[in-house]
Chains A and B, each alone.
Chain A
């Protein structure tokens, strides 16, 4: 059993607070992604789980035991570094065998396990090479091999795919999912690539500026972003955010009003300044009450991304089928899919004002 728990964890470096009051509970066998922009504290979190950094405050538990003061080698974890950190003077086989050697596994057993790991990752023909004689993808597989040869309870992966080309990356993504399915171990996966997080993880912890923003399933993160940051960060193109004011069931932006389903908002929601969020796919072109002018049309092949100018807010992006006839300069009426709009506080943390059960709860 290796569930992971971070309780009120704070990490301050000499002159910089990298993490503030982080609480996170990861279940045994779960695949969790830590997602966030550069510098938000993902690696720091992972390194604390590994025991390479120590929390300034708070408690870290792995498998129920407090591990704050446990050395990295004594935690039942393995880590794949962003840089792979393969030992340059050792062959692939020696690299993979190193963790076993350090744990006093005898030679015969070691060879057997290295062979098995190599077979799993298709590394057999490379076993006698040195790391610098390998391609990036091969190095990455060796790093994975070194991590899983010991069969630890927890895998920590720090952006393991970030240095691979697009094709290899999507291939390795599938390999990793498959690997997780086979091993059934807890995996914590750091990435700043939302596609990786969305496709691989059971749950995603979105972080920003050392604070946890939301920790939920990919579906919930996408459909029920907890605040403005998550709404903006997840999705490409990202959610359209329009500042305006709420009054009863009306939301006014730049002098134009749209109707809001007030029953979808939290009862304590008060009238006044707020931010309305609509995903590009939830904008209905030619069907609504808001005046807009088409500024730009981008044809990606399977769809068109339409940029619209609407008075009183930033450029709005909408998705349209690739066959739709839209011309630049054209004036259109647009509307929002009422069941899928999001409303956020304008001030403070930009919290979500919608009730949580609204989307995807329909049968």
Chain B
């Protein structure tokens, strides 16, 4: 009986996994099928001939690499910016007592109450008057505005988990406040920083709406809007290229996750202070 239940459970889990991963698998398969095989009915499961021509076309004949570079710069810059601000902000919110501290923390969340479409136009106008329209910086700033609130609250809860005595001890041991932060607090916050960085990077990497509105020149378009405008038109969708582009867009995220996953889980549970 327990064996049967276990088997049933496994079956169920596998069905769910397959359902979830099917589009991904199909995406990969489609990207290596020759164009001729694409719309065959009934569809072929495994491609009869495997081809990488779509990848090659993308890399050599389209601005894909430019978009890719833009996305990397954009996401990395946003991540660094947001993590730095959120970490220092959280440190301040947790460690210091000052007037309006809680109000400030709440106010930051306020942007979340508004749908992002409402914020786009003012942001766009702001960027124009700052002379930043059509630049990567404008996107970095825009992404920061909606990644920061969550990042700040995330870092704040991590920061609250770091006992203040640790820092006090470091200061008594001869460290400056910044030194104590670097030597002691930062290593404790690392799992939090990595989570926040992942969250921000993914958000920036996948963002579409702001990129569509704020940037309309190829030189600073990120992958999301770039690939869309390049491969999808009113009359035609380049399915093969789109799938190949999607695969290549997912690769960086998969790599990052693979690298940081162990960090994410192992970092927790410091045991700094007996309790």
**A interface residue numbers (CB < 8 A to B):** 14, 47, 50-52, 71-73, 77-79, 81-89, 98-99, 102-103, 130-132, 136, 139, 146, 163
Q: Is the CB of B171 within 8 A of A85?
A: no
* Chain B contact patch, size range: 20 to 34
Q: Is the CB of B273 within 8 A of A84?
A: yes
Q: Is the CB of B274 within 8 A of A103?
A: no
Q: Is B187 an interface residue (CB 8 A)?
A: yes
Q: List 18 A-B contacts (CB under 8 A).
A: A50-B168, A72-B168, A73-B173, A73-B174, A77-B172, A78-B173, A79-B169, A81-B165, A85-B166, A85-B169, A86-B272, A87-B169, A88-B271, A98-B170, A98-B183, A99-B173, A131-B272, A146-B173
Q: Is the CB of A71 within 8 A of B171?
A: yes
Q: Is the CB of B176 within 8 A of A71?
A: yes
Q: Is the CB of A83 within 8 A of B171?
A: no
Q: Which residues of B contact A82 (CB under 8 A)?
A: 165
Tell which of A79, A88, A98, A136 has the most Cβ of chain B within 10 Å. A88
Q: Is the CB of A85 within 8 A of B168?
A: yes
Q: Is the CB of B187 within 8 A of A102?
A: no
Q: Mark B257-275, 1 if CB is under 8 A from A, else 0.
A: 0000000000001111111
Q: Is the CB of B174 within 8 A of A103?
A: yes
Select which of B170, B172, B187 is within 8 A of A78 by beta carbon.
Answer: B172
Given known pairs A81-B169, A85-B169, A88-B270, the reply for A102 and B175 (CB within 8 Å) is yes
Residue of B nearest to A53 (CB): B168
Beyond contacts A14-B97, A81-B165: 14 other A-B pairs, Cβ-Cβ < 8 A, are: A71-B176, A72-B171, A73-B171, A73-B172, A73-B173, A81-B169, A82-B165, A83-B274, A89-B187, A98-B173, A103-B174, A130-B271, A139-B274, A163-B274
Q: Which residues of B contact A130 (CB under 8 A)?
A: 271
Q: Which residues of B contact A72 (CB under 8 A)?
A: 168, 171-172
Residue of A nearest to B163 (CB): A83
Residue of B nearest to A78 (CB): B172
**How close is A281's CB to chain B, nearest CB, in angstroms?**
38
B144-180 CB contacts (< 8 Å) to partner A: 163, 165-166, 168-176, 179
Bound Cα distance A132, B274 (Å):
8
Given known pairs A52-B168, A52-B171, A99-B173, the reply for A85 and B270 (CB within 8 Å) is no
Q: Is the CB of A87 within 8 A of B166?
A: yes
Residue of A nearest to B173 (CB): A99
B35-71 CB contacts (< 8 Å) to partner A: none
Q: Is the CB of B173 within 8 A of A102?
A: yes
Residue of A nearest to B166 (CB): A85
Q: Which residues of A contact B175 (CB under 8 A)?
A: 73, 102
B2-20 CB contacts (< 8 Å) to partner A: none
Bound Cα distance A103, B179 (Å):
12
Residue of A nearest to B184 (CB): A87
Bound Cα distance A85, B180 (Å):
13
Given known pairs A81-B169, A87-B184, the reply for A73 and B274 (CB within 8 Å) is no
Select which of B97, B163, B179, B187 is within 8 A of A85 by beta carbon.
Answer: B163
Q: Which residues of B contact A146 (CB under 8 A)?
A: 169, 173
**How close is B255's CB to chain A, nearest CB, in angstroms?**
26
B175-201 CB contacts (< 8 Å) to partner A: 175-176, 179, 183-184, 187-188
Residue of B nearest to A74 (CB): B174
Q: Which residues of B contact A14 (CB under 8 A)?
A: 97
Q: Which residues of B contact A102 (CB under 8 A)?
A: 170, 173-175, 179
**How close is B102's CB to chain A, nearest CB, in angstroms?**
13
Q: Is the CB of B272 within 8 A of A99?
A: no
Minimum-distance CB pairs A-B, first 3: A132-B271, A102-B174, A73-B174
Q: Which residues of B contact A131 (CB under 8 A)?
A: 271-272
Q: Is the CB of B273 within 8 A of A83?
A: yes
Q: Is the CB of B176 within 8 A of A73?
A: yes
Residue of B nearest to A132 (CB): B271
Residue of B nearest to A102 (CB): B174
Q: Is the CB of B272 within 8 A of A85?
A: yes
Q: Is the CB of B274 within 8 A of A136?
A: yes
Q: Is the CB of B272 within 8 A of A88?
A: yes
Residue of A nearest to B167 (CB): A85
**How close is A156's CB to chain B, nearest CB, in angstroms?**
8
Select which of B171, B270, B275 is within 8 A of A89 by beta carbon.
Answer: B270
Bound Cα distance A163, B273 (Å):
11
Q: Is the CB of B168 within 8 A of A81?
A: yes
Given known pairs A102-B179, A132-B270, the reply for A88 and B188 (CB within 8 Å) is yes
Residue of B nearest to A86 (CB): B272
**How close is A324's CB to chain B, nearest CB, in angstroms?**
45
Bound Cα distance A319, B140 (Å):
78
Q: Which residues of B contact A136 (CB under 8 A)?
A: 274
**How close is B228's CB to chain A, nearest CB, in angstroms?**
44
Bound Cα distance A72, B179 (Å):
13
Q: Is the CB of B188 within 8 A of A85?
A: no
Q: Is the CB of B272 within 8 A of A87?
A: yes
Bound Cα distance A50, B172 (Å):
7
Bound Cα distance A72, B188 (Å):
22
**How close is A52's CB to chain B, nearest CB, in angstroms?**
5
Bound Cα distance A99, B173 (Å):
4
Tell which of A14, A79, A146 has the most Cβ of chain B within 10 Å. A79
Q: Which residues of B contact A77 (CB under 8 A)?
A: 172
**How close is B166's CB to chain A, nearest CB, in angstroms?**
5
Q: Is the CB of A52 within 8 A of B272?
A: no
Q: Is the CB of B172 within 8 A of A52?
A: yes
Q: Is the CB of A89 within 8 A of B188?
A: yes
**How close is A107's CB to chain B, nearest CB, in angstroms?**
16
Tell which of A72, A99, A136 has the most Cβ of chain B within 10 Å. A72
Q: Is the CB of B271 within 8 A of A87?
A: no
Tell which of A47, A77, A99, A163 has the most Cβ of chain B within 10 Å. A99
B216-275 CB contacts (< 8 Å) to partner A: 269-275
Q: Is the CB of A99 within 8 A of B174?
A: yes
Bound Cα distance A163, B275 (Å):
9
